Structure 1
């Protein structure tokens, strides 16, 4: 039995994705459409269906759509588009685009958005029972939910907040006020750290207590009956305008006065970013406590776009798990697992589920490689390059899923100076005030930052850096004294793991700067072709592509 999970239009209008699981709930393949189309977030437009992601998943399993028994979608489109589709065949034709096989109509299962989010986190976790907190922009009619999930039992929904009480809307409005795209919330989070570092006192625009919260922008009047897509659009625009007015009042201005590259120098911009950040931190802190109380366990899973907020995640006590795909792409996985939960779970999910270098779906390099020196990718040579303060990239094995590069599609460097921070931001054409993450081994990680049992697996929690980290890895310590660590437990990332081990043997600090391998405005590289193209375009010194090392001769 094969089950294909999707995040797809018409409801899934960004971060479209496909996931294929077998009859035991084992994930065979998972890929986001942006990695194939090279259009970041695969925002809803002509051709944004996850057709390439679907094709990859099917090819990885060696099957066709005729072998798929069930298609599970992480939205209930009937709530938002009543009467739009005459039947399941009509829906699948739109959802699958050119992938649709008119001769075979698999069973269609519509999974409510937040339930799919919750399933994607719990079943990816090592827990057998957990409280699950989902927070995002909106689902069909909700923006925040609390659940209990347990193996062998139906999930229990304890509490739901309407989409007009959305933390995502509040944070999006701050991002737009700052001049960012509403999908660039990570920039807002990075800027907010300057407010924390400066000890700013901010207006608390939310009241929390009793397992509930009330935002400064009062929820709009709820409409009777089911909401439609038109209602959602109107609500979003009204809430966005209301929140922007609040931030303008807080800042005493309608927008920043500094350009994007110098926002950290603009007191009003820092104030707005930190004000929005505190809203999220206050609510997530209160609701995590309430979720644990409702479930009767300390184990907590997070999902939804808000779960990408590493700063807020890192402040939560106790065991906290966030999957590598907590954003909307993850509902493809959660929808599939709602149909068939995994029979056997041997620990947290591996994030390496995408296209493999040299494997199914890989697009081989076609560019001329003149000017590049080619050799075997030996750990000795790569380590020597890094110790010589060269900056390189790695594209090896199956691509990781989610927005964090986890050493299969990464840019790496030695973080022993702040100069490397400046250079890598320049290489990626990013604002200089944006931070970088560090990667290390478990034993050395305990010397660099606070322990995070699960969050550091996928780089999804900010941790307080130690004085030792300040001394040996200043390139990955943000202005507020935190970093977003990744810890490699075994050989899941062979090149980076081997380099870390060799650094240790040579007596050097076993830590590297790790950031996503992509240029400005682009998704993380996917195929060999993408990797070599990006390497030539960017001011990088070397590239590990599979088992081959490329170096630029003029370096």
Structure 2
């Protein structure tokens, strides 16, 4: 389990059996409805852990091992030294009787395990890039089934790429956990052919960002030292971006940021730094591991644009960010057996549609789900949501908790951004089948499984699906596997049956500032509060009386 200290983020819980099979996995934000589960009192994975136990039909007394994706002994010397207290802190449960064995897994090792064991590869180099682990910011590993993972190289927090990107996000006025906005804005610089200053030196095979730490890291840092180092380094990056842009921040409101040359310059400068670094590090990882197969993990692995520039077989798990260390810590203790297939991402809470008489559905019109009817609604220009089966894990909606629309005009892009109360310049993803996707965008063998790589689109995509084409001519595609999301699969087949392009705009089912919906209650509440036309939940179709025709 990943139980970050007070003030940290992305707590999660994962339950695996003795063979390494994942029984359940969920992020705490899905249960307490606080984005990233950040803040004192919100970041223990109590709700997520309780869900995992309930899903398995067991109690906390049945747990044999608690694995934590941080070396808490180093970061909190003298704090939580008692094993029983640590177990309670990590899970939110009391342990009056038998105490499970507790394993502290170093942060980057947990990240690396989450990426490799989720992949279809039998061996791979694994590249972990984030803000920081206990002492490092970037690490390279070699993994293969049948032997212990091997750390090949690591870079200290003084070379943190995550800090560099956080500095740009904060300069732009975003929270550091809103790096996706920075990435979306950076595309405007690429589209305009902007020339930016190189902020990375890799001469001699080392990794040296333009702003190193204000103080060198010596020994093993405590959490207080890491916090001071982070604040000082991010401030130094903000100062550098201010110097490059000739301003201390944007001069326009957030919805007009693409019109601000300084804002676009800062976003694209930071993005190019990440892309240049990831390209160098990926090549280095392949060389050190001696194989072409490459896995990525860490918060920087959520950067779809950077992932998309990498050649060769590249895999990113559905939870590369800090929530993923719950999965990686568990797999470090009990690795899964090799399957040759990428992991199933639908491991969260199952949605159970309430009956028509349920008070939550009062005022809504309910009919049985009919794929032909939903297809007609979408072709009529309506925008709907789907909440079906077990929730997908991670920050990308993979058609179990999604908002859907036909992307045949640019206007639908604007409407969905209004529905989600997002900035109008934010991009969307397209979802289709593999055969049709090959006509719309460059092929991505693995990144399109979980919508984690930007791909250049074709002329056909610009013509039939402009609503999912970003300003730089890319999209973040999802290729839907057969049987993965039955409702959406049926609608895509319905589109094709009507002679329409079988592609949909797919974005997460949540309003601004909210986590992705989890339960039926969440789905109904979001449907009521957002300007959506219909909701497919379990085997029912809900419509608002005012919208029914």
Task: Quickly name the TM-score band, shorter chain normalised.
Answer: over 0.9
Alignment partner of 1:68 out of 63, 70, 92: 63
Alignment partner of 2:409 out of 409, 417, 422: 417
Question: Where do 1:235-274 residues align within 5 Å?
Answer: 235-274=229-268
Match for residue 213 of structure 1? Answer: 207
Distance in 2 separating the partners of 1:86 and 1:60? 31
Match for residue 143 of structure 2? Answer: 149
Alignment partner of 2:180 out of 186, 199, 202: 186
Match for residue 392 of structure 2? Answer: 400
- Going from structure 1 to structure 2, the CA distance change for 1:374 and 1:467 (only over 3 Å counts) comes to same
Match for residue 3 of structure 1? Answer: none
Distance in 2 separating the partners of 1:352 and 1:363? 24
Alignment partner of 1:200 out of 191, 194, 198: 194
1:45 to 2:40 alignment: yes
Match for residue 391 of structure 1? Answer: 383
Q: Which moved more, 1:346-355 or 1:320-329?
A: 346-355
Distance in 2 separating the partners of 1:541 and 1:143? 45
Distance in 2 separating the partners of 1:367 and 1:226? 55
Match for residue 461 of structure 2? Answer: 469
**1:108-167 CA-partner distances (Å, limit 9, x unpaired):** 000000000000000000000000000000000000000100001111111101112100
Question: Where do 1:368-517 residues align within 5 Å?
Answer: 368-517=360-509
TM-score by length of 2: 0.98
Distance in 2 separating the partners of 1:303 and 1:524? 21
1:528 to 2:520 alignment: yes
Match for residue 17 of structure 2? Answer: 22
Q: Is the 8 A contact 2:158 2:217 kept in 1?
A: no
- Going from structure 1 to structure 2, the CA distance change for 1:520 and 1:343 (only over 3 Å counts) comes to same
Q: Is the 8 A contact 2:509 2:517 kept in 1?
A: yes
- Going from structure 1 to structure 2, the CA distance change for 1:309 and 1:364 (only over 3 Å counts) comes to farther
Question: Where do 1:245-324 residues align within 5 Å?
Answer: 245-324=239-318
1:548 to 2:548 alignment: no
Q: Is the 8 A contact 2:32 2:42 kept in 1?
A: no
Distance in 2 separating the partners of 1:163 and 1:239? 10
- Going from structure 1 to structure 2, the CA distance change for 1:375 and 1:220 (only over 3 Å counts) comes to same
What is the CA-CA distance between 1:367 and the residue it aligns to? 4.3
Q: Secondary structure at the match of 2:249?
A: coil
Q: Is the 8 A contact 1:191 1:274 kept in 2?
A: yes
- Going from structure 1 to structure 2, the CA distance change for 1:450 and 1:467 (only over 3 Å counts) comes to same
User: CA RMSD of the aligned region, Å?
Assistant: 1.5
What is the CA-CA distance between 1:219 and the residue it aligns to? 3.2
Question: Where do 1:216-227 residues align within 5 Å?
Answer: 216-227=210-221
**1:187-209 CA-partner distances (Å, limit 9, x unpaired):** 00000000000000001111124
| Residue-pair matches, total | 547
**1:487-517 CA-partner distances (Å, limit 9, x unpaired):** 0121100011111111112211000000000
Distance in 1 separating the partners of 2:9 and 2:442? 34
Q: Which moved more, 1:157-166 or 1:20-29?
A: 157-166
TM-score by length of 1: 0.97
**1:417-452 CA-partner distances (Å, limit 9, x unpaired):** 001001000000000000000000000000000000
Match for residue 336 of structure 1? Answer: 330
What is the CA-CA distance between 1:345 and the residue it aligns to? 2.1
Q: Is the 8 A contact 2:428 2:506 kept in 1?
A: yes
Distance in 2 separating the partners of 1:486 and 1:293? 29
1:80 to 2:75 alignment: yes
Distance in 2 separating the partners of 1:224 and 1:292? 29
Match for residue 354 of structure 1? Answer: 348
Q: Secondary structure at the match of 1:78?
A: helix
**1:330-388 CA-partner distances (Å, limit 9, x unpaired):** 000000000010024240001100000129xx999964433321101110100000010
Q: Is the 8 A contact 1:357 1:545 kept in 2?
A: yes
Q: Is the 8 A contact 1:363 1:528 kept in 2?
A: no
What is the CA-CA distance between 1:104 and the residue it aligns to? 2.5
Question: Where do 1:123-138 residues align within 5 Å?
Answer: 123-138=117-132
**1:23-48 CA-partner distances (Å, limit 9, x unpaired):** 00000000000000000000131142
What is the CA-CA distance between 1:553 and the residue it aligns to? 1.9
Distance in 1 separating the partners of 2:355 and 2:296? 35
Distance in 2 separating the partners of 1:160 and 1:351? 29
Q: Is the 8 A contact 1:367 1:533 kept in 2?
A: no
Q: Is the 8 A contact 2:451 2:476 kept in 1?
A: yes
Q: Is the 8 A contact 2:6 2:39 kept in 1?
A: no
Q: Is the 8 A contact 2:156 2:217 kept in 1?
A: no
Q: Secondary structure at the match of 2:207?
A: strand
What is the CA-CA distance between 1:9 and the residue it aligns to? 2.5
**1:256-287 CA-partner distances (Å, limit 9, x unpaired):** 00111111111000000000000000000001
Q: Secondary structure at the match of 1:123?
A: helix
Distance in 2 separating the partners of 1:238 and 1:248? 15
